């Protein structure tokens, strides 16, 4: 008995494995709100539960079979891809351009940085409500400008695909400040002598950008890609506030579709099945992305 | 020759300044519109671009009084404050063993945590809702706080472990030789060095919790518990035609974060950079 106590004390006192106990609060929360919900989500996805009733029955693969042929799911899936990869493309180009512009010192540089980064502080949902006043049909700020130049008012969000494009654009504008900061940090870490050496060797601005700046920025590219793709694929608040998935179901992301299926349509079982699909898809994209980028980085770093 | 180059340089700089100014005007335009609209009387039908000739605070009074924006701000403060404290404590203590000892268990725990960063909340919210109903956590502060903490922890663990790795391990070893117990190394040696990363995590986590919508939408369904995002969304969805009041509510919800951002800008930018380092 005494011996056991002693060895216990030695374990706590000096065995590094005992330190893992410090992760316990985090691990318990992780089990409660990540592991259990995933398992229970899989379970719910095989039922016809409506979201509140006590009674439901197992329906086998019905929900998944329905999903494969459901045009709403496919449209949301396509939109999610556009939101994710489209935003990533625009934000990377815009963020890099802004970072290049704002990396050297000149009048109003820090003012511009402040303003560009400001929307990144604001919730997606609220960004959507702010832009509502710009793209709305009646008295919208954008339509006012068109009227001023003698054009006709446009109902911007009335066509599904156009709405998807506009949401992607707004998402990119609002959050490219973060990408810009990541690239600014990357640009600052490039030693000035690299570019000086290149210009002595007779490289022009484009060559120096292509062969020095871009490879040196690769870690920054990696991070901004991963962050933007994850962010875009999670798209929820902005869709809810700009179109609530409309017109019809045309601009839903997978996340906002899950929400509508659950709250409005009371198809909790089906909603859970779509949830599992989006979960597996995003994990898949990220594993692929990480593998690819690690390989690429190794190539550049020789 | 030298003079010619410098005038070319100045001209180039002016061009940059003008471009930066134009970009800033474009980025600020949406904020200008809700600001100007929020000072208009309800009956004002002029273009959103025009600032009112006689600004009024009517819309703000309406938003605070009928829209319960004040209550929403207090609720959001409560949720954000307690969640952030727990995220900092749980995140920091978990990060210490995970960054110092690469046992198989620790590696597994770390990769599970980091994996959670990419889970879209909506994909698991239906089962989480069901679980919280069983536990009695719907419409409670503890329900929303524990859930928020769970999904904010991965980012903090990620940033804390990266930072602790940069603190020399020799410090730990010296302390052990001097007779410090291994559980005391973290509070005595590591924690005092962590101020910069704590401020980064504090800022990033506060902003993201302040801005959360999806978790709050599912857990807080009583009007009395409404947070800012929920209050704003009911302003826009419940057939409200008082556009100045909706704009005022939006301004009020953005204002606290915007003010803190303007004062502590340096730390916000540092935080974003810290979160991006691999």
pLDDT at B278 over 60: no
pLDDT for the residue B31: 94
**Given an 8 Å threshold on Cβ–Cβ distance, is B123 in contact with A255?**
yes
User: How far does A287 lie from chain B, in Å, by closest CA?
Assistant: 10
B233 near A CB under 8 A? yes
- B contacts of A118 (beta carbons < 8 Å): 27-28, 31, 258, 261
**Given an 8 Å threshold on Cβ–Cβ distance, is A181 in contact with B258?**
no
- Phi and psi at A58, nearest 5°, equal -80, 135
Write out chain B in H/E/C secondary structure: CHHHHHHHHHHHHHHHHHHHHHHHHHHHHHHHHHHHHHCCCCCCCCCCCCCCCCCCCHHHHHHHHCCCHHHHHHHHHHHHHHHHHHHHHHHHHHHHHHHHCCCHHHHHHHHHHHHHCCCCHHHHHHHHHHHHHHHCCCCCHHHHHHHHHHHHHHHHHHHHHHHHHCCCHHHHHHHHHCCCCHHHHHHHHHHHHCHHHHHHHHHHHHHHHHCCCHHHHHHCCCHHHCCHHHHHHHHHHCCCCCHHHHHHHHHHHHHHHHHHHHHCHHHHHHHHHHHHCC
pLDDT for the residue B136: 93
**Given an 8 Å threshold on Cβ–Cβ distance, is B113 in contact with A279?**
no
What is the band of B266 on the pLDDT scale with cuts at 50, 70, 90? Answer: confident
A96 near B CB under 8 A? no
A138 near B CB under 8 A? no
Q: Pick the residue with more confidence: B16 or B237?
A: B16
- Mean pLDDT, rounded, for B128-132: 92
Superfamily for domain range A60-300: MetI-like (1.10.3720.10)
pLDDT digits (tens, 9 = 90+) for A164-215: 999 999 999 999 998 999 899 888 888 888 878 888 888 888 888 888 888 8
pLDDT for the residue A285: 85
**Given an 8 Å threshold on Cβ–Cβ distance, is A13 in contact with B27?**
no
**Of residues A285, A160, A220, the one with CA closest to residue B120:** A285
- Percent of chain B surpassing pLDDT 70: 95
pLDDT for the residue A300: 65
**Given an 8 Å threshold on Cβ–Cβ distance, is B96 in contact with A125?**
no
Q: Which residues pair with A197 in a beta bridge?
A: none
**Alpha-carbon gap, residue A30 to A39, rounded angstroms:** 13
Q: Of B33, B122, B181, which is closest to A259 when you measure between CB atoms?
A: B122
**Given an 8 Å threshold on Cβ–Cβ distance, is B109 in contact with A272?**
no
pLDDT for the residue B91: 94
- Mean pLDDT, rounded, for B190-195: 88
- Percent of chain B surpassing pLDDT 90: 42
What is the band of B240 on the pLDDT scale with cuts at 50, 70, 90? Answer: low
Q: Pick the residue with more confidence: B182 or A123?
A: A123
B20 near A CB under 8 A? yes
**Given an 8 Å threshold on Cβ–Cβ distance, is A275 in contact with B19?**
no
**Given an 8 Å threshold on Cβ–Cβ distance, is B97 in contact with A121?**
no
- Mean pLDDT, rounded, for B29-36: 93
- Phi and psi at B140, nearest 5°, equal -130, 155
Q: Of A112, A145, A278, which is closest to B23 when you measure between CB atoms?
A: A112
User: How far does B74 lie from chain A, in Å, by closest CA?
Assistant: 17
pLDDT for the residue A218: 83
**Given an 8 Å threshold on Cβ–Cβ distance, is B28 in contact with A51?**
no
User: How far does A192 lie from chain B, in Å, by closest CA?
Assistant: 18
Q: Are B124 and A279 in contact (CB under 8 A)?
A: yes
Please give the residue of chain A at the shortest CA–CA distance from B246. A129
Predicted ipTM? Answer: 0.89
Q: Where are the domains of chain A?
A: 60-300
B81 near A CB under 8 A? no
Please give the residue of chain B at the shortest CA–CA distance from A11. B182
Q: Are A198 and A254 in contact (CB under 8 A)?
A: no
pLDDT at B4 over 60: no
**Given an 8 Å threshold on Cβ–Cβ distance, is A41 in contact with B91?**
no
**Alpha-carbon gap, residue A269 to A279, rounded angstroms:** 15
pLDDT at B3 over 60: no
pLDDT at B33 over 50: yes
* Residue A43 CB coordination number (10 Å): 15
pLDDT digits (tens, 9 = 90+) for A244-264: 887 888 999 999 999 999 888
Q: Are A116 and A175 in contact (CB under 8 A)?
A: no
**Alpha-carbon gap, residue A168 to A174, rounded angstroms:** 10
pLDDT at B1 over 50: no
Q: Which tokens sit at A236?
A: 């929820």
Long-range contacts of A209-216 (CB under 8 A, 24+ apart): A213/A187, A215/A300, A216/A186, A216/A189, A216/A190
pLDDT tens for chain A, 302 residues: list them: 566 677 776 666 667 788 888 889 999 999 999 999 999 999 999 998 888 887 888 888 888 999 999 999 999 999 999 999 999 999 999 999 999 999 888 888 889 999 999 999 999 999 999 998 898 888 888 888 888 888 888 888 888 889 999 999 999 999 999 899 989 988 888 888 887 888 888 888 888 888 888 888 888 888 888 888 888 788 899 999 998 887 888 999 999 999 999 888 888 899 999 999 999 998 888 888 878 877 776 776 64
Q: Peptide bond before A247: cis, by omega within 30 degrees of 0?
A: yes
């Amino acid at each position: 008995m005494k011996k056991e106590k002693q060895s216990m004390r030695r374990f706590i006192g000096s065995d590094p494995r005992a330190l893992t106990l410090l992760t316990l609060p985090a691990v318990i929360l992780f089990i409660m709100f990540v592991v259990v919900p995933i398992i229970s989500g899989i379970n719910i996805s095989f039922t016809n539960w409506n979201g509140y009733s006590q009674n439901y029955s197992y329906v086998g693969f019905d929900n998944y079979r329905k999903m494969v042929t459901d045009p709403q799911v496919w449209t949301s899936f396509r939109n999610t891809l556009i939101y994710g990869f489209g935003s990533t493309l625009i934000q990377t180009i815009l963020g890099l351009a802004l970072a290049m512009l704002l990396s050297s010192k000149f009048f109003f540089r820090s003012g511009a940085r402040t303003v560009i980064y400001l929307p990144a502080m604001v919730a997606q949902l609220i960004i959507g409500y702010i832009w509502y006043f710009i793209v709305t049909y009646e008295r919208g700020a954008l339509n006012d400008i068109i009227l001023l130049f003698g054009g006709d008012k446009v109902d911007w969000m009335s066509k599904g695909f156009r709405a998807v494009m506009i949401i992607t654009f707004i998402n990119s504008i609002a959050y490219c400040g973060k990408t810009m900061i990541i690239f600014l940090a990357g640009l600052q870490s490039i030693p000035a002598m690299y570019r000086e050496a290149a210009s002595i060797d007779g490289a022009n601005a484009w060559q120096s950008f292509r062969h020095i700046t871009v490879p040196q920025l690769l870690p920054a590219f990696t991070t901004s890609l991963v962050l933007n793709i994850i962010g875009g694929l999670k798209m929820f608040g902005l869709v809810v506030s700009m179109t609530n998935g409309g017109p019809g179901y045309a601009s839903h992301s997978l996340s906002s579709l899950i929400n509508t299926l659950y709250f409005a349509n009371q198809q909790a079982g089906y909603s859970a099945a779509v949830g599992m699909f989006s979960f597996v898809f995003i994990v898949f994209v990220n594993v692929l992305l990480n593998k690819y980028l690690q390989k690429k980085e190794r190539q550049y770093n020789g | 020759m030298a003079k010619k180059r410098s005038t070319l340089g100045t001209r180039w700089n002016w061009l940059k300044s003008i471009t930066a100014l134009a970009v800033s005007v474009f980025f600020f335009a949406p904020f200008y519109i809700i600001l100007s609209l929020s000072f208009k009387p309800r009956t004002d039908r002029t273009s959103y671009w025009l600032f009112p000739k006689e600004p009024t605070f009517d819309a703000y009074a309406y938003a605070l009084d009928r829209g319960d924006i004040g209550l929403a701000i207090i609720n959001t403060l409560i949720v954000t404050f307690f969640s952030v404290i727990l995220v900092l404590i749980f995140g920091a203590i978990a990060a210490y063993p995970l960054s110092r000892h690469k046992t198989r268990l620790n590696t597994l725990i770390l990769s599970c945590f980091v994996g959670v960063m990419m889970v879209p909340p909506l994909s698991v919210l239906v089962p989480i809702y069901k679980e919280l109903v069983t536990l009695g956590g719907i419409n409670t502060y503890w329900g929303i706080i524990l859930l928020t903490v769970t999904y904010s922890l991965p980012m903090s663990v990620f940033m804390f472990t990266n930072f602790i790795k940069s603190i020399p391990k020799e410090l730990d070893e010296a302390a052990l030789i001097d007779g410090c117990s291994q559980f005391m190394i973290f509070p005595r040696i590591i924690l005092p060095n962590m101020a910069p990363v704590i401020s980064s995590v504090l800022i990033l986590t506060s902003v993201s919790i302040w801005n959360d919508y999806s978790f709050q939408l599912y857990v807080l369904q009583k009007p009395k518990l409404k947070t800012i995002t929920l209050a704003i969304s009911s302003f826009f969805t419940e057939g409200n035609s008082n556009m100045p009041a909706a704009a005022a509510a939006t301004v009020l919800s953005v204002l606290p974060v915007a003010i803190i951002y303007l004062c502590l800008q340096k730390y916000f930018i540092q935080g974003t950079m810290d979160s991006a380092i691999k």
